[in-house]
Chain A
Amino acid sequence: MAETIFEVRGVTRVYHTGEVAVHALRGVDLDLYAGEMVVLLGPSGSGKSTLLNIIGGLDSPTDGDVRFRGRSLGGLDDGGLTRYRRDHVGFVFQFYNLMPGLTARENVALVTEISRQPMTPEAALAMVGLEHRMDHFPAQLSGGEQQRVAIARAIAKRPEVLLCDEPTGALDSHTGVRVLEALTRVNEELGTCTAIITHNVSIRQIAHRVFLFADGRVGEAEVNANRLRPDEVSW
């Protein structure tokens, strides 16, 4: 068995909006291993994004603990979390979140500039097949291209973990496949532990393991016996 990177134990997250308390997570336990690719599935509002944000150090649990390589994230202050995100985590968001004022290359450079052992922005963009679009601004790129820039940006620092929140949510099947191919490639070539949230049930087939979310809880992981390549997935 591969090394455990994340140990999530009893994590709850309660949002207080006005008088009502929303229980986004109600005690989640799970482990993530080095080099694996997992898919998180579940109905809208079941807490997937919330968990991903907590793992990525963007949010903190109300209760419970997340350990990264044995060290509790709960013990980190804002500076510590910032350093944790900078050194270990890559994010891909549903709405790309590129800086509109920077070109594709610059959007990637934004991250490589503050990383310890990054690849060059050019290499990262090449991995997602965008070597010909490096000097375009986000507004000059299609949605799928923008998402691939976002992936290049996330992988350029060679992160140990790659967290993707609905990376294909806004894309057609063909472009979605290209994005998934990029993610798979990074997972295989760099050994990045990759977690992908999706609403597309068929994408589960590319993962090593699948977690099912329901109402703030997670069931046992299902292990995929036969993984498919992205282009074999029927969309």
Chain B
Amino acid sequence: MRVLDRKLLRDALRLWAQGIAIALVLASGVGTLILSMGVYQSLDETLRAYYERHRFGHVFASATRAPRTLLPAIRALDGVSSADARVSGAAILDLPDLAEPASAMLLGLPDDGTAGHAASRGLNRVYVKRGQLPEPGRGNQIAINAAFADANGLGPGDTVSAVVNGRRTQLKVSAVVLSPDTIYAIGPGDLIPDDRRFGVFWMPDSELRAVYDLEGAFNQLSVLLQHGADAAPVMEAVDRLLKPYGGTASYGRDNHPSHAFIDTELSELRGMMVVLPPVFLLVTAFLVHMILSRLIALEREQIGLLKAVGYGRWAIAAHYLKLVMIIAALGILLGTAVGAWLGYGLTALYTRFFHFPFLIFRLSPEVFLIATAVAVAATAGGALGAVLRVVRLKPVVAMSPPAPPVFRRGRILPPALAKLFSESTVMVTRHLLRTPARSLLTMVGVSFSVAVMITSMFGLDSVDRMIEVTFHQSERQHANISFHEPNTWRAVNAIQRLPGVLRAEPFRTVSARLHHGHRHRRVAVQGKPDGADLSRVLDTSLEPVDLPPTGIAISQKLAEVLHAGPGDAVRLETLGREQGMHDLKISKVIQGYIGLGAYMSLDALNRLLGEDRLVSGVNLMLDDNRLDAFYREVKATPSIHAISLIRRAMHRFRETIGENIGIMVTTFSTLGIVIAFGVCYNSARVQLSERARELASLRVLGFSRWEVSRILLKEMGFLALAGIPLGWLVGYWLAWLASRGMQSELYQVPFLVEPATFARATVVVLGAVILSGAIVWRRIRHLDLIRVLKTRE
């Protein structure tokens, strides 16, 4: 081995603790990059391939009853590659060992019997996991989605008891399948998939048509566009064609319930990709800069000697670069391993919610190469300044000891000011000011660790607030029941009489498009009775408000996207069964975190539609002690089209989040600790190295170990305590940025950071600071006085 390499190895072994502290920071950067980029890529590629192979549509629309004869016209539209129509419906299920009613979405399968085959011309083609796809005329055969099958232990040959369009039937499972339009399948009123309680059932379309009395017709349309075709003109044409048949506005993939959720996940991964790794890489560069500068300052004479005896400047520069590359290699290896491991974990977690025929985490060579490249760049970038100093160092200058630092009392801390503080505080301040860049960067480093934790964990606070407001102040109903078709008050009274119902409030829902100028959005307008107490509308200061007798109230987000405010005139284009155009004024802008909300008083809505007190469903408050009786009745009442157990959905959501909180807090606290420890420990070690002589002299003069240690520890504590509040600010700001990035028309995540989150971040960082302090303190205790005083500096 070359002698210089032997020196390298010895240096590396001597600096192992610092090297590892830095490698851990780098590993965090590499790990988060590999995790986010790798999972993103795996998910994105799988999604693309799945959509492609199974012909997931680009444009979707529904209608109340459209003739199948429209299909050729739709297929002939410019930019349309293929179009497929089917019937969809809903069923209430009675599962043997489940008290609550479950529900299912019913979807038609193409009648040609090719639904699952590669040759099928149908869209949203299913993937058959087990069994045989149902065929017409075999009698109530269905295919069920795999998640529901697994959650309920169902498979081909089993039967499910269901109420379909008011008729109780036994459905026979013939196949277990997946489909590209139900990757994320969420039941009515649910916040996350509840596979036990919600299933997707496929039946031959001809049978569904018979059930719903839709012979020769369809109520759901999917359109596949030609490559590169623009969706907007197709959507307009489809809307025009479907309008006479109760068409609701068509929508693209971005509003498709399954795709939109996956897309949200993808953008979260993208967000993680651009925020976390850069922070770690920046801190790595800073740490590398700090310890390499110190090492080179210490080895000035050795560098001069190497130059004097004929080593070229780049050979010496390479020597030091190799040292930091050892750190880089460690960081990359560790980061890749941890990133891949977390990637597998996260992907496995996804498969609980997203159902693909095949989804595995794949660490692709390009992701690995990118991570390696940025890690090497960050390390080398941090080393650059120090290495250039090596290159420029003149051998004669290097061989003579450096000039002592200029120390002018007045300039560093004015004596008048200094008098105000204790002697040791003055000393600490003076030393911190002597290397202002390092002090500042150390402080910033500590603040980053606080900020990383706040940014990563504030989401929990926001979700908590969203739930609190949505389910405890606004949507307080335990469940809601909806009818297949708008119904009269008689139906409300019938439900009021069900066992366990404490309170029932009707509501009316109309799908519509709200126009303001040239802007418009699809909305579901909700009509609420006066004095509604279960499902309340809140104003922007979260106070419940009554809906005015005229006009329409819209949520903040809707107001924002339509550029509309109170008093503005808007046009409401009602769709579906109740086609019409109505001019209205915006009466209020109200709070709402989920979706785009539009509300009217029930009477006003009925008047608008020219109807006489019709309702779409009922919100319910239930007696917890009589739930079983209530559920039994619901299962036995054929007129109930669908039921959402909103309370249960919320609890399940809370539980799932609760399960993940532990993992999240552990992961992000670890990342925070890694930065805080890496920064504080290295900074203290460099301080110790620079001031070992001074401290040793103090010891010789009779200062105790503790008194000597206190000087360094005080400096470290000072920087940490200054860095933490800065971290609160930076974290708050980053969290705000992140929350802006998370806003969509699907969710408006409220922005808030609870004091507990600040406190948690602070405690964790303080722990890391104290740990590095303890390690440095141990080193000071073992300071070899003689050796330190003997070395020339």
Contacts and interface: CB of A to CB of B under 8 A. Distances in A.
Q: Do chains A and B stick together as partners?
A: yes
Interface of A: 53, 56, 58-59, 78-79, 82-83, 85-87, 89, 91, 93, 95, 97, 99-102, 106, 109-111, 113-114, 139, 153
Interface in B302-319: 302, 304-313
B309 A86 contact: yes
A114 B6 contact: no
B3 interface: yes
Given A58-B308, A97-B305, A82 B7 contact: no
Contact of A111 (B309, B312, B399, B787): B309
Contact of B10 (A93, A101, A111, A153): A101
A226 B11 CA distance: 50
Contacts of A106: 3, 6-7
A101 B7 contact: yes
Contacts of A78: 313
Nearest to B401: A95
Contacts of A139: 787
Interface in B275-327: 301-302, 304-313
Nearest to A153: B309
B4 A82 contact: no
A59 B7 CA distance: 27
Nearest to A93: B399
**Which among A59, A83, A100 has the highest number of chain B CB atoms within 10 Å?**
A100
B144 to A, nearest CB: 70
B10 A110 contact: no
Contact of A109 (B3, B301, B311): B3
A83 B313 CA distance: 11
A79 B399 CA distance: 19
A139 B787 CA distance: 9
A113 B319 CA distance: 15
A121 B587 CA distance: 94
B395 interface: yes
Nearest to B2: A113
Nearest to A54: B396
A170 to B, nearest CB: 12
28 contacts: A53-B396, A56-B308, A58-B308, A58-B395, A58-B399, A78-B313, A82-B310, A82-B311, A85-B307, A86-B310, A86-B311, A87-B310, A91-B308, A93-B305, A97-B304, A97-B308, A99-B7, A101-B7, A102-B7, A110-B4, A111-B309, A111-B310, A113-B2, A114-B309, A114-B310, A114-B311, A139-B787, A153-B309
B309 A110 contact: yes
B518 interface: no
A85 B396 contact: no
B312 A82 contact: yes
Nearest to A91: B308
A207 to B, nearest CB: 23
B409 interface: no
A79 B312 contact: yes
Contact of B302 (A86, A87, A93, A99): A99
B308 A85 contact: yes
The majority secondary structure among interface residues of chain B is: helix
Contacts of B395: 58
A56 B10 CA distance: 31
Contacts of A100: 302
Contacts of B227: none
Contacts of B394: 58-59
B792 interface: yes
Interface size of B as a range: 20 to 34
A91 B307 CA distance: 11
Interface string B392-404: 0011100100000
Given A58-B396, A101-B10, 15 more contacts: A59-B394, A59-B396, A82-B312, A82-B313, A85-B308, A85-B309, A86-B309, A99-B7, A102-B3, A102-B6, A106-B3, A106-B6, A110-B3, A110-B4, A111-B310
A118 B313 CA distance: 22
**Which among A87, A93, A114 has the highest number of chain B CB atoms within 10 Å?**
A114
A167 B310 CA distance: 20
Contacts of B396: 53, 58-59
A101 B305 CA distance: 13
Contact of B307 (A82, A111, A153): A82
Interface in B392-428: 394-396, 399
Nearest to B307: A82
Nearest to B304: A97
A25 to B, nearest CB: 13
B11 A101 contact: yes
Contacts of B310: 82-83, 85-87, 89, 111, 114
A58 B304 CA distance: 9
CB-based closest 9 A-B pairs: A86-B310, A85-B310, A97-B305, A109-B3, A59-B396, A58-B395, A106-B3, A58-B396, A110-B3
Nearest to A87: B310
A108 B651 CA distance: 75
Contacts of A93: 305, 399
Contacts of A59: 394, 396
Nearest to B792: A95
Interface in B633-655: none
Nearest to A84: B310
A104 B312 CA distance: 22
A83 B307 CA distance: 10
**Which among B6, B310, B312, B792 has the highest number of chain A CB atoms within 10 Å?**
B310
Contacts of A83: 310
Contacts of A86: 309-311
Contact of B399 (A89, A97, A101, A113): A97
Contact of A97 (B7, B301, B312, B313): B301
A99 B7 CA distance: 9
A114 B394 CA distance: 20
A59 B304 CA distance: 12
B209 to A, nearest CB: 85
A124 B3 CA distance: 16
A9 to B, nearest CB: 21
A99 B11 CA distance: 12
Nearest to B391: A78
B792 A99 contact: no
Contacts of B2: 113
Nearest to B787: A139
A192 to B, nearest CB: 15
B318 to A, nearest CB: 14
B315 to A, nearest CB: 9
A97 B313 CA distance: 18
Interface in B1-48: 2-4, 6-7, 10-11
A145 B399 CA distance: 20
Contacts of A109: 3
**Which among B301, B308, B311, B313 has the highest number of chain A CB atoms within 10 Å?**
B308
A139 B6 CA distance: 17
Nearest to B309: A111
A50 B505 CA distance: 100
B789 to A, nearest CB: 13
A82 B312 CA distance: 6
A90 B396 CA distance: 15
A86 B309 CA distance: 6
**Which among A56, A58, A91 has the highest number of chain B CB atoms within 10 Å?**
A58
B311 A99 contact: no
A83 B787 CA distance: 36
B290 to A, nearest CB: 21
Contacts of A101: 7, 10-11
Contacts of B6: 102, 106
A48 to B, nearest CB: 14
Contacts of A114: 309-311
A81 B399 CA distance: 17
A129 B482 CA distance: 102
A84 B6 CA distance: 26
Contacts of A87: 310
A230 B312 CA distance: 36
